[in-house]
Structure 1
Amino acid sequence: MSIYYPYCRGKQFELIAIRESAGLLARSNFEPIIEPVKESLSGLDRALKSVIEADGHATVIVNPYHGDHSEDGVNIEALLNDQFSDHADSIAAGILLKKDMTVEDALKLHATYPEENTTFIHAGFTEAKALAAELGQGLVSTRHVFFEAHCGKLYRKHFQGATRVLLRDGFKRRRNADHPRLEEFSDLHATYEEEGMDGFGDFLIVGDDYTETGGPAYAVAIHLTFVDGDKDDAMFIYHFVSDTRDTPSDPAGKFAEALAKLIQKLNTGRSKLIETSAVKEFRQLHANGHFPGLGYVKKLSLKHHIETIADYFE
């Protein structure tokens, strides 16, 4: 059974991060949850094929809340049926339980997919008690992922006996220029069992707040997480932010400033960042003076986060 469920919104570089990390995700028993937000599903298709090739698992939300499929998930359903129906044990359907949904809506979606491989994702739904009652004896074979922001302990209690996963947003969203140098991210990787959960998840270094586009970057930030063994294994996040932040021009120059701060921190030998493949690539970009684009930088931070959590569980 998986322990860690990174939740991503299926933007291009998030899907590439999943694809490039597919082997590590599978080896570590991590299962990404993907909410497809872009109309084109080709990136999702490629990411899921990589997950299957690596003998891994993923959950795909069939009724997204955000993005191009929020009105109906018919294209996502078609992709799962056409391409992945033979891999139902690897690719699960995720049912997002939203604020305005009824128990009937939830059960109708549930009936569409193979029962043993459907995940309920609780994100504002209010009928916990009624849903648990309707699932009845079948409850124990279901899996439930709870957005912590919407699901307190009393809510989660209704699903005792099922597989339960708690999803916490450790990333505080603000303008890049306003990030502190260092802050706490989460302790859930070390405390999920204390919470009575079978697994945990997060929104990586993106956060739960969804925006269609990044908008012009007045400041460029590199976000990197680490586990601090001197602080009970709590996870912290560095924000390496450019000094130039008054106009949206010259992202390459700003990236160079942020990267210089990261390299300077690494070179102290006291950063507590582990040498992930992403950190090695940041070193290479610094050595070459190369700017790969902001999406690519985000992808590296995502991969670093996944590798850091994998390292913790090793």
Structure 2
Amino acid sequence: MYFPFLRGKQHELFALRDLKDSNVLSGEILPVIEPVKYSTQLVSTVKGLLDDNRKLIMIMNPSVGTFVDDLNDNEELMEEILELMGHRNATIGYYLNSNAALEELPQLVNRCNRTLDETAVFHSDLRYLDIYEVMFAEHEAKYNFIADIKPLKRRFANNNGVILRDSFIKRTPNAEYLNHQVEWFSSDHLDFEQEGFLGFSDYSIVGEEYTESGFGAKAVAFHILYPDEAKNLWVRHFVSDSNENRADQAGKFGEALYKFVDWYNQNETALINTEGINELLDCYKNGNYPGLGMLKRYSIKHHLELVGNMLVKV
């Protein structure tokens, strides 16, 4: 099972919505959403997935953004989200990062009319493992997301563990990707079961680092995953060449897109023939610059559909 970790920003949410609407979101994919703020887009996307019998995890104490403050400042919004998380297909996600969890998590679970053993707990700090052992003395959480830390791997292998890694190497500025055009991404989809895990998780082609908003960069870059013959996943970076200033973003995109189409024509396979890829090809065919946000959406859609295809074929 693949648990893509997505921040609840517009284009990440819409990537999920698009794949669901096109009926290409694999049943082997259970998305994790860390909402960065309350929005009607968040609610409609989550509700659409749940009502379409899709399961998802939403983190209720996100580490970034204003989501918690948004709910605490408006009781109607709080009740709306709590009702949403009471849906049978929703799983409450929670960062175990303070002693306050002993009171907070049980209270949250009760308000959603759920039980502790239906939750997804996110572990990254060994100091709070004892808190988990107290709360879950009689049973495990439904999912235990763990960082690549040996004691956590020992504790949760074969105990509802999901390995969470940041597989994407973030480089700044974007022009730096010209020096690293092909990079290793992951083999977790091949290895997670033999390591004793229920599934695997990553931050797609966005990376764990959170930024509030983007801006016009000197170099335009987008990132496409592809499998090698052994079904390991690699990432190919497509970057513009005229990177002296921030002018002509559309022209920069055209430079990167030309490289992508040339690469695609040499590497076309059924596995990478995804909706996200076809949207990029349409941009080339129509001479269209969709904007940086849409570029991210296309790349995420490709990633999720590709991994879904890989899991079926592994």
What range is the shorter-chain TM-score in?
0.7 to 0.9
Bigger mean CA offset, 196-205 vs 45-54: 45-54
Matching residue's letter, 1:185: F
Query: 1:68: which partner in 2?
Result: 66
Query: Quick one: which of 159, 175, 186 aligns to 1:162?
Result: 159
Q: Deviations over 1:209-253 (max 9, x none)?
A: 011112331111110001212xx3211000000001111221111
Bigger mean CA offset, 168-177 vs 153-162: 153-162
What is the Cα deviation at residue 33 of structure 1?
Answer: 0.5
* Structure 1 position 253 matched with structure 2 position 251: yes
Q: Which runs of 5+ in 2 are unaligned?
A: none
Query: 1:198: which partner in 2?
Result: 198
Q: Which runs of 5+ in 1 are unaligned?
A: none
Query: 2:171: which partner in 1?
Result: 174
Q: Over aligned residue pairs, what C-alpha RMSD do you find?
A: 2.3
Bigger mean CA offset, 102-111 vs 63-72: 102-111
- Counterparts in 2 of 1:34-183, with a 5 A limit? 34-38=33-37, 40-69=38-67, 71=69, 74=72, 77-83=78-84, 85=86, 87=87, 89-98=88-97, 100-105=98-103, 107-108=105-106, 109-113=108-112, 114-115=114-115, 116-124=117-125, 126-139=127-140, 142-148=142-148, 152-159=149-156, 162-175=159-172, 176-179=174-177, 180-183=180-183
Whether the aligned pair in 2 keeps the contact of 1:29 and 1:56 (CA below 8 Å) is no
What is the Cα deviation at residue 158 of structure 1?
Answer: 3.0
Mark the CA change 1:131 to 1:72 in structure 2 (over 3 Å): closer, same or farther. farther
Whether the aligned pair in 2 keeps the contact of 1:14 and 1:299 (CA below 8 Å) is yes
Mark the CA change 1:161 to 1:172 in structure 2 (over 3 Å): closer, same or farther. closer
Find the aligned partners of 1:215 and 1:183 in 2 and give their Cα distance. Answer: 25
What is the Cα deviation at residue 169 of structure 1?
Answer: 0.8
Find the aligned partners of 2:153 and 2:276 in 1 and give their Cα distance. Answer: 36
Mark the CA change 1:96 to 1:112 in structure 2 (over 3 Å): closer, same or farther. farther
Q: State the TM-score, normalizing by the size of structure 1.
A: 0.88
Q: Deviations over 1:134-160 (max 9, x none)?
A: 411122x53211133xxx121233345
Query: 2:263: which partner in 1?
Result: 265
Whether the aligned pair in 1 keeps the contact of 2:168 and 2:207 (CA below 8 Å) is yes
Query: 2:241: which partner in 1?
Result: 243
Query: 1:278: which partner in 2?
Result: 276
SS in 1 for 2:127: coil
Find the aligned partners of 1:11 and 1:165 in 2 and give their Cα distance. Answer: 23
Q: State the TM-score, normalizing by the size of structure 2.
A: 0.88
SS in 2 for 1:4: coil
Find the aligned partners of 1:24 and 1:200 in 2 and give their Cα distance. Answer: 20
Whether the aligned pair in 1 keeps the contact of 2:10 and 2:41 (CA below 8 Å) is yes
Find the aligned partners of 1:135 and 1:247 in 2 and give their Cα distance. Answer: 54
Find the aligned partners of 2:192 and 2:11 in 1 and give their Cα distance. Answer: 28
Matching residue's letter, 1:196: G
Find the aligned partners of 1:183 and 1:44 in 2 and give their Cα distance. Answer: 32
SS in 1 for 2:49: helix
Find the aligned partners of 1:147 and 1:72 in 2 and give their Cα distance. Answer: 28
Matching residue's letter, 1:203: Y
Bigger mean CA offset, 268-277 vs 13-22: 268-277
Find the aligned partners of 1:146 and 1:223 in 2 and give their Cα distance. Answer: 26
Find the aligned partners of 2:63 and 2:100 in 1 and give their Cα distance. Answer: 15
What is the Cα deviation at residue 78 of structure 1?
Answer: 2.7
Query: 2:220: which partner in 1?
Result: 220
Query: 2:286: which partner in 1?
Result: 288
Mark the CA change 1:174 to 1:132 in structure 2 (over 3 Å): closer, same or farther. same
What is the Cα deviation at residue 164 of structure 1?
Answer: 1.1
What is the Cα deviation at residue 18 of structure 1?
Answer: 1.0
Matched-pair identity in %: 32
Mark the CA change 1:160 to 1:243 in structure 2 (over 3 Å): closer, same or farther. closer
Find the aligned partners of 1:218 and 1:170 in 2 and give their Cα distance. Answer: 25
Find the aligned partners of 1:290 and 1:105 in 2 and give their Cα distance. Answer: 52
SS in 2 for 1:24: coil
* Structure 1 position 187 matched with structure 2 position 187: yes
Mark the CA change 1:203 to 1:146 in structure 2 (over 3 Å): closer, same or farther. same
